[in-house]
Amino acid sequence: MRFDELILPEHEYPRRVCESRGEWLLFYSRGVPVERIAAWCRADTATVRRVIRREATRNPGWFARRWFVHDQPALPSDRRRGRRSWDQVWWEHYTDLVAYVEAHGGLPAQNDSTVARVLYRWIENQRRVFDAGKLVAEKIAALDRVGEWVGTRKGNPEELWARRLEELRLFRAERGRFPRHEKARYPEEKVLAVWLGRQRTWHRKGRLRPDRLQLLEEVVSGWNETILGRARSVEQ
């Protein structure tokens, strides 16, 4: 059979909309953009996109594999061969997380295994970036597909931070000092001391949110003077 014998006459080409959801997903998994799928299948673009988003929510591993193969940005030509960008490293960790969730049915816990510990710490870092308002929408949406990655913490992070700040204010008002991280002498102060130490660390590294820095200065002025005083004494 010759190739030209396979070409249908114009009046025999299908005119109806191709409504096969499986075909849409197959095209998308092979790297075909949503708009191209809609054009090929004579379907509504919004409908195709809605079907794909539903599948990505139901099966995040499918979405992650598709992104990793077809959508991840290529390395710039001036980069050294084999060197990965921060964005590529992020998506590689994300792909590992998706594979773990699919295999174990839930998010990793710190003490499950070595692999779980690495992924657990990576998620914790994403939560900190998210709290700082620096996690981009695309990555937030991808993590949302995996599960309740933000909700695994106890309570709302904003409410928890505000509660710790109020506890620090009351502590200082009652005792005239800041909490100390000395488990043997002051075990009841450990939680608040750790929280305060974390704020000081974030401030020193330039990662403390401006609004939180302002609240600390207004509510408990001098909250960072202890550590600054130590730094000055060491320099002298």
Q: What is the pLDDT of residues 182-225, one digit of tens each?
A: 767 777 888 888 889 888 988 888 878 889 999 999 999 899 87
Taking the C-alpha atoms of residue 148 and residue 142, their distance in angstroms, rounded to an integer, is 11
- The pLDDT, as a whole number, for residue 53 is 79
> Given a cut of 80, is residue 94 above it in pLDDT?
yes
Q: What is the pLDDT of residues 95-145, one digit of tens each?
A: 888 888 888 888 887 777 888 888 988 998 888 888 777 888 888 888 888
Mean pLDDT of 83-92: 78
Instruction: Answer whether 185's CB lies under 8 Å from 178's CB.
Output: no
Please provide the CATH number assigned to the domain covering 15-58: 1.10.10
- The pLDDT, as a whole number, for residue 65 is 67
Nearest to 91 by CA among 130, 34, 144, 143: 143
- The pLDDT, as a whole number, for residue 216 is 94
* Full-model pTM: 0.41
- The pLDDT, as a whole number, for residue 165 is 93
Give the confidence band of 229 by pLDDT, cuts at 50, 70, 90: very low
Report which DSSP code applies to 152.
T
Q: In this structure, what token pair is assigned to residue 174?
A: 């009652």
- The pLDDT, as a whole number, for residue 169 is 94
- The pLDDT, as a whole number, for residue 87 is 79
Q: In this structure, what token pair is assigned to residue 41?
A: 């299948």
Which is more confident, 211 or 4? 211
Give the confidence band of 61 by pLDDT, cuts at 50, 70, 90: low
Instruction: Answer whether 184's CB lies under 8 Å from 173's CB.
Output: no
Each domain of the chain, given as residue ranges in start order, spans 15-58, 59-70+85-151, 157-235
Q: What is the pLDDT of residues 144-189, one digit of tens each?
A: 888 778 754 555 677 888 888 999 999 999 999 999 877 677 778 8
Give the confidence band of 3 by pLDDT, cuts at 50, 70, 90: very low
